[in-house]
C-alpha cells in the first residue's frame, strides 16, 4: 500500500471516530496536558506563530490556548471530520485558521513558525524522523518543535498475548525514544520518556477504546486476526490482567539556524560546585568576556567577577557588571527583601560583546530569582547553550542526570559537562552514556588555584567551535 493510500486510510478511520473520540481518549488527554505544560515553559515570543499537526478534537489546542494566550494559530489534521470537531471548540485567542493537512508531508505552508507541535499524531508517519525533519524546516530561527509520540514498548502486553497465542500483532512497531530525532541539522534538544499504564476490564474493552479513537489501521504488512485467533489472544490478554502500557516520548527541539553562538551559560548541579573556576577556565580557553547577572553573598566574600578577572587574567573591558548585587549568601529571591531590593528576571539583558560571553548563574537550575522565575527560566530566555559544572564523586551521576533532564525538557541545548574533584572514570562514563552528553574537561584537585593553574587547565578544553559543532551533531 502506498504512503498516500495509507495516510488516507488513517485519516478516514480517525474521521469515523471523531464524534466519540473524547469519550475514549483518557491517555490522549493526559498526554496533551503534559505536552502543553512543557510548551508553556518555553521562551516563546508574544503572540507566537503556531502550527499544530494532527489536532484531533482539539485536546492540545485548547490546553495551549489556556497557557499561551493570544497567538497566530494554524491548526491542522489529516481528517476533515476531526478538524471540524476541533473548530467547534471554544474560540482560540488571537487569529486562527483550520486546514486539512498531511503533517508528514506539509505543503503550501509559509514557514517561519515559532512553535510547531503535535500530540500523539506523528507516530502514524511512515518515516518519523524524516517527517519531523520536514516540520523542523518550517521553524523560524529560534523556533521550537514539540511533539508527544509513542515509543518502543507501547502495548507490550497486547503483543505478549499475541505471542503466547501464536499470532502476530497488527499494532505498529514504535521506535526507541533515543532513536527519535528530526532529520535536520542545527537543532538542539532531545527526548524524555515516561510510562502511562491503563487498566481495562477486559480485552474487548481495550479494542473498543482503540476503535473509539480511530486507532485501528494495522501496521504495514500485517492484517487483522481471524475470529478464532482473536478469541485466543483476548483470552490470554485477560489472563495477563488486561493492562496496557503507553511508552510516551516527549521531544522538544530548538532551531539553532542563524542563532549566533554568543557564548555559554555556566550553571551547576548544586551551589559551591565550582562554577566560578569553570567560568574562569572557559573565559581563558575561549578568549571570552565574563558576566554574572546576579551576584549574592558579597558581604562574606569577594564577588565572582573579581575572582574570574584574577584567575583568567581578563582586562576590564572584558568584564561586565552584574545586573543585581546582593549582600546575603542566599538565593536572589531570598536575599533581595533583606535589602528592600526588587529583582525582575525578565529585565536582565546580556551585554553586547564582540567576543564570546561566559555567563555564570547563581546556584543551580532551580534557584529562585524573583517571585515568578528560577535560574532555569533565565537560561531559557537568554537562549545560550549550557555548560554544566558537576562534582566527580559519589552522588554526581544522579544529580547530573537530573539536571540534564531538566534542561532538555525545556529544549535548552547542553554544550557539555565539566567535572571537578578526584578523577573518576566510571562516573564520567556513566554521565556521558546515560546523559548523552560530552564531558568537556575534568578538573582534578589543585594544590593552588591561581592564574597559572587556570592557564594550564584551559589548554585541556576543546575549542568553542568544535564543542558547538559536536552539540549540534548529537542533537
Query: What amino acid positions are annotated as catalytic residues?
Result: 292
Half-sphere exposure of residue 158, counting CA atoms within 13 Å on the CB side?
23
Contacts of 130 (CB under 8 A, 6+ apart): 104, 183
Q: Tell me if 296 is assigned to a ligand binding site.
A: yes
Q: Is 149 annotated as a binding residue?
A: no
Burial track 73-83 (b if 16+ CB lie within 10 A, e otherwise): bbbbbbbebbb
Helices 304-312 + 275-285 axis angle, to 10: 40
Cα separations in angstroms, 243 against 187, 225, 386: 37, 20, 41
361 labeled binding residue: yes
CA dihedral sign of residues 402, 407, 411, 413: negative
Strands, DSSP E only, in 109-226?
113-119, 139-150, 187-199
Q: What CA–CA distance (Å, rounded) separates 44 from 373?
A: 15
Q: Report the candidate in 60, 151, 142, 141 with the shortest Cα–Cα distance to residue 103.
A: 60
Number of helices (H) and strands (E) in the chain: give both, helices first: 16, 16
The verdict on whether residue 109 carries a ligand-binding annotation is no
Q: Are 256 and 188 in contact (CB under 8 A)?
A: yes
226 is in an annotated binding site: no
Question: Where is 469: in which H helix or E strand?
Answer: helix 464-474
Return left, alpha or beta for 471; rule: phi > 0 is left, psi -120 to 50 is alpha, else beta.
Answer: alpha
What phi and psi values does residue 302 have, to the nearest 5 degrees?
-60, 155
Residue 294's H or E segment, with its range, is strand 294-295
Length of the chain: 475
The whole-angstrom separation of Cα 35 and Cα 194 is 12
Which one-letter DSSP state was computed for residue 329? S
> What is the C-alpha to C-alpha distance for residues 264 and 384, in angstroms, rounded to an integer?
5
> Residue 232 is placed in which grid cell?
485466543
d(CA 62, CA 361): 35
Q: Is 56 annotated as a binding residue?
A: no
Residue 378 known to bind ligand: no
The helix-helix angle for 375-382 and 396-409 (nearest 10°) equals 50
Binding residues: 272-277, 296, 360-363
Binding residues for ATP: 272-277, 360-363
Binding residues for substrate: 296
Amino acid at each position: 500500500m502506498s504512503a498516500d493510500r495509507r495516510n488516507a486510510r488513517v485519516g478516514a478511520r480517525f474521521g469515523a471516530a471523531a464524534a466519540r473520540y473524547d469519550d475514549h481518549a483518557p491517555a490522549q488527554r493526559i498526554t496533551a496536558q503534559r505536552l502543553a505544560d512543557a510548551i508553556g515553559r518555553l521562551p516563546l515570543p508574544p503572540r507566537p506563530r503556531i502550527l499544530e499537526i494532527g489536532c484531533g478534537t482539539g485536546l492540545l489546542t485548547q490546553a495551549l490556548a489556556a497557557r499561551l494566550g493570544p497567538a497566530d494559530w494554524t491548526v491542522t489534521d489529516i481528517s476533515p471530520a476531526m478538524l471540524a470537531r476541533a473548530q467547534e471548540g471554544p474560540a482560540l485567542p488571537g487569529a486562527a485558521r483550520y486546514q486539512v493537512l498531511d503533517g508528514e508531508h506539509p505543503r503550501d505552508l509559509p514557514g517561519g513558525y515559532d512553535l510547531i507541535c503535535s500530540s500523539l499524531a506523528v507516530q502514524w508517519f511512515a518515516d518519523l524522523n524524516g517527517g519531523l525533519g520536514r516540520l523542523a524546516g518550517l521553524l523560524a530561527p529560534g523556533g521550537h518543535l514539540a511533539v508527544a509520540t509513542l515509543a518502543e514498548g507501547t502495548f507490550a502486553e497486547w503483543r505478549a498475548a499475541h505471542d503466547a497465542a501464536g499470532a502476530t500483532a497488527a499494532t505498529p512497531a514504535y521506535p526507541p525514544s533515543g532513536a527519535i530525532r528530526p532529520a535536520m541539522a542545527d537543532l538542539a534538544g532531545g527526548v524524555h520518556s515516561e510510562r502511562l499504564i491503563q487498566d481495562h476490564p477486559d480485552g474487548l474493552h481495550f479494542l473498543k477504546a482503540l476503535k473509539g479513537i480511530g486507532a485501528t489501521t494495522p501496521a504495514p504488512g500485517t492484517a487483522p486476526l481471524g475470529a478464532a485467533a482473536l478469541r485466543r489472544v483476548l483470552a490470554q490478554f485477560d489472563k495477563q490482567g488486561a493492562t496496557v502500557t503507553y511508552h510516551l516520548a516527549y521531544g522538544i527541539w530548538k532551531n539553532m539556524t542563524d542563532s549566533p553562538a554568543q557564548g555559554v551559560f555556566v550553571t551547576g548541579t548544586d551551589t559551591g560546585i565550582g562554577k566560578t573556576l569553570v567560568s574562569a577556565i572557559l573565559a581563558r580557553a575561549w578568549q571570552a568576556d565574563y558576566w554574572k547577572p546576579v551576584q549574592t553573598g558579597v558581604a562574606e566574600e569577594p564577588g565572582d567577577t573579581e575572582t574570574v578577572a584574577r584567575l583568567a587574567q581578563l582586562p576590564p573591558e572584558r568584564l561586565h557588571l552584574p545586573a543585581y548585587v546582593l549582600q546575603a549568601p542566599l538565593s536572589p529571591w531570598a536575599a533581595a527583601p533583606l535589602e528592600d531590593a526588587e529583582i525582575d528576571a525578565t529585565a536582565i539583558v546580556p551585554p553586547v560583546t564582540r567576543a564570546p560571553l561566559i555567563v555564570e548563574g547563581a546556584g543551580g537550575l532551580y534557584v529562585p530569582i524573583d517571585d515568578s522565575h528560577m535560574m532555569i527560566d533565565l537560561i531559557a530566555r537568554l537562549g545560550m547553550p549550557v555548560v554544566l559544572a558537576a562534582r566527580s564523586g559519589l552522588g554526581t551521576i544522579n544529580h547530573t542526570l537530573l539536571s540534564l533532564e531538566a534542561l532538555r525538557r525545556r529544549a535548552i541545548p547542553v554544550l557539555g559537562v565539566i567535572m571537578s574533584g578526584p578523577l573518576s572514570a566510571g562516573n564520567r562514563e556513566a554521565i556521558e552514556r546515560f546523559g548523552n552528553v560530552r564531558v568537556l574537561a575534568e578538573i582534578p584537585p589543585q594544590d593552588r588555584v591561581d592564574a597559572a593553574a587556570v592557564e594550564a587547565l584551559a589548554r585541556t578544553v576543546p575549542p568553542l567551535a568544535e564543542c558547538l559543532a559536536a552539540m549540534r551533531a548529537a542533537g
